[in-house]
Amino acid sequence: MARESDYGVNDLGLKIATVNGTGSASANGLLLQALFRMGIPVSGKNVFPSNIQGLPTWYEIRVNKDGYTARSPDFQLIIAMNPESYARDIEEVVSGGWILYDNTRELDDEFRRDDVTFLGIPLADMCVEHFQGSRIRILMKNITYVGALVALLDIDMDVVKGMLQEKFASKQHLMDANFAAIEVGYTYALEHFDCPLPIRLEAMDKTKDCVMVTGNAAAALGCVYAGATVGAWYPITPATSVMDGFTEYCRRFRVDPDTGKNNFCILQAEDELAAAGMVIGAGWMGARAFSPTAGPGISLMSEFIGLAYYAEVPCVFFNIQRTGPSTGMPTRTQQGDLMLCAYASHGDTKHIVLFPADPKECFEFSIQAFDLAERFQTPTFVVSDLDIGMNDWMIPKLEWDDSFVPDRGKVLAADELEKVENFYRYLDLDGDHITARTLPGVHSKGAYFTRGSGHDKYGRYTEDSDAYVEVMDRLLAKVESAADHVPAPEIFETDGGKSVGVVSVGGCHWAVLEARDALAAEGIEIDYLRIKGFPFSQAVEQFLEDHGTVIVIEQNRDEQLKNLILLETSCAKEKLQSVRYYGGQPLSKGHVIEGVTPFLTREPVEVSQ
């Protein structure tokens, strides 16, 4: 059985198995925040079904004193609240771990394991005894297990109570019930178990300059800070909370105090096609406009995205990726839309894509996306995923420079138009591949026809080969020139550089970092580059050139990042190795180590100089 020495303080994987629709989310959030407020690095992952009520759902909390936040599948403690999922939940706890369950109805013997400790608490019975009404009994059962965990893990009770006070300040009866439930669970655990368990927690000071937020909320706030005024969308998991967040922050910051009217317009479209059309219409008028969606939405928007690319209308799309293809697993994560976003739409197209790795970058990249979209007059994608978007992440506090001026790109004002003899929409006057645009309603000299049909550099319809090619070549050069403006890759190099380099993207980052540290502790050092933007910059090209073997780690089946690298850089195919995980869970250290190990045992390849 477990010995104290097997476990470290503040190093714990905890999984809570409940039934969705029973109010467990708020209890789990409470728990996560309490740990965060104790100053302990923590991350939460919600593993939920595509369903409203009645199906199994899980919440995973990882506590790590060293600050690793990637998902870890090693659970020392499982709170098994759902008999329907007992079998797999109990199987998942590590040998020597603990299982907290409701013994109002005793466990069947088939679920028993000899190598773990069962902590039975009569949660249902106690809630029936202490609370009136079925709904409150169901809700308080969750708070009662939180109370038990306070004792079992040595969580700071004052922190927990303080949070309840904040939360229910205006609802005394709920506060009373929550307090009572916490006490009931706490007292029972103290009286019946040897508290705290060896996997106990201890206050630290590692979160004081941090905040806890989801990527979607941060992206939404980024849209507010970027000055976006029009948001169009169609509800879709896992992107819906981007628009929920935008709505919330707009109501807070964007309501005109004198009139009570909105300095924004949020349109819930009839489908993603319409959402894209609205964003393009607003972009045409000169508004900063965006649409949050997921892969299926990008598929539907693709025709419009081609129009915006060809007619050069700025617009921003957020793709909060979920598991595809088709409907796929809508509540699981993946990086399956890298190719889709890079080349969305028929014909020759290529788009600017930004890849945030956490909510901090969701905020920053969302602002940058609007600048890039307007500067390059082209659709720009922020490609996040369900794990980043919907889960709670601990990030350094966001910062804002009040002198920030948005880059609106080349837009001719009325007085500038007054001076020009003729305005031609697609005529590149200064050789940077970006042509000046005009906005409707400003000046009759600026009028032109925006169209997705063949056009020449003067903006006129054409079916002439040379005139068509001239515009298409400029478009390619224009988007490629964005490589120097997308966020630069983050590079982790060991002194002198190693022959093996890892390249990864987006939410893979945290597992890769953790795995890299673990390998380094064993004396295996690897270099690592995280791509943050597309088209790829020279720094990416250089890293590929500098390493004899490059292992591309990504979360999709078809090696999409690796293939993008092959298509868009001069890297030789033989150099590239692939590590893929695409089962729908966030990447963890184990996936990375297991994936890269075969390539590390090889003889190192000579680096070409």
Partner 1 sequence: MSYIKKPAARHPKLRVNSLGLTVRDYEGSMSTLCAGCGHDSVTAALVQAFFELEVEPHRLAKLSGIGCSSKTPAYFVSEAHGFNSVHGRMPSVAAGANAAHRDLLYVGISGDGDSLSIGLGQFCHAIRRNVNMLYLLENNGVYGLTKGQFSASADIGSTSKGGVANQQGPIDPVNTALSLGATFVARSFSGDKNQLVPILKAGLSHNGFAFVDVISPCVTFNDHQGSTKSYAHTRSHMHEVIETDFVPLKTEITTEYSEGSVQGITMHDGSVVKLHKVADEYDPTERRAVLDYLADVGSRGEIATGLLYLEESGADMHGFENTVDRPLVEIPFADLCPGSKGLEEVQKEWW
Site for partner 1 in 185-224 (CB under 8 A): 211-213, 217, 221, 224
Among the listed ranges 193-201, 255-263, 543-551, 566-574, the one in contact with partner 1 (CB under 8 A) is 255-263
The yes or no reply on residue 443 touching partner 1 (CB under 8 A) is yes
In sequence order, what are the beta bridge partners of 383?
Answer: 319
Q: How far is the CB of 62 from partner 1 (least distance, A)?
A: 18
Indicate which single residue of 27, 239, 275, 320 sits in contact with partner 1 (rule: CB under 8 A): 275
Binding mask 356-395 for partner 1 (x = CB under 8 A): ----------------------------------------
Site for partner 1 in 124-153 (CB under 8 A): none
The yes or no reply on residue 180 touching partner 1 (CB under 8 A) is no
Rg (CA), the chain: 27
Residue 524's φ and ψ, nearest 5 degrees, are -105, 110
Measured distance CA(375)–CA(448) in Å, rounded: 19
Site for partner 1 in 32-61 (CB under 8 A): 33, 36-37
Q: Provide DSSP, 194-255.
A: -SSPTT-----SSSTTEEEEEHHHHHHHHHHHHT--EEEE---TTTHHHHHHHHHHHHHH-B
CA angle 333, 336, 337 (to 5 degrees): 115
Site for partner 1 in 461-500 (CB under 8 A): 461-462
Give the residue among 288, 180, 291 at the shortest CA–CA distance from 233.
291
Residue 496's φ and ψ, nearest 5 degrees, are 80, -15
The yes or no reply on residue 257 touching partner 1 (CB under 8 A) is no
Q: How far is the CB of 9 from partner 1 (least distance, A)?
A: 23
Binding mask 403-422 for partner 1 (x = CB under 8 A): -xxx----------------
Cβ proximity to partner 1: between 67 and 452 the closer is 452
Measured CA to CA in angstroms, residue 93 lies from 10, 45, 99, 149, 551 at distances of 18, 17, 8, 16, 31
Indicate which single residue of 1, 132, 205, 260 sits in contact with partner 1 (rule: CB under 8 A): 260
Indicate which single residue of 12, 278, 526, 564 sits in contact with partner 1 (rule: CB under 8 A): 278
The answer to whether 323 and 584 have CB atoms below 8 angstroms apart is: yes
The yes or no reply on residue 447 touching partner 1 (CB under 8 A) is yes
Site for partner 1 in 288-327 (CB under 8 A): 289, 303-304, 307
Strand arrangement, sheet containing 392-396: 117-121, 93-102, 75-80, 11-19, 56-64, 42-47, 392-396, 210-214
Q: How far is the CB of 295 from partner 1 (least distance, A)?
A: 20
Residue 376's φ and ψ, nearest 5 degrees, are -95, 0
Among the listed ranges 48-56, 260-268, 334-342, 586-594, the one in contact with partner 1 (CB under 8 A) is 260-268
Q: How far is the CB of 262 from partner 1 (least distance, A)?
A: 5
Q: How far is the CB of 454 from partner 1 (least distance, A)?
A: 10
Measured distance between the N- and C-terminal CA atoms of the chain, rounded to whole angstroms: 55
Cβ proximity to partner 1: between 58 and 304 the closer is 304
Site for partner 1 in 421-440 (CB under 8 A): 438-440
Measured distance CA(267)–CA(270) in Å, rounded: 9
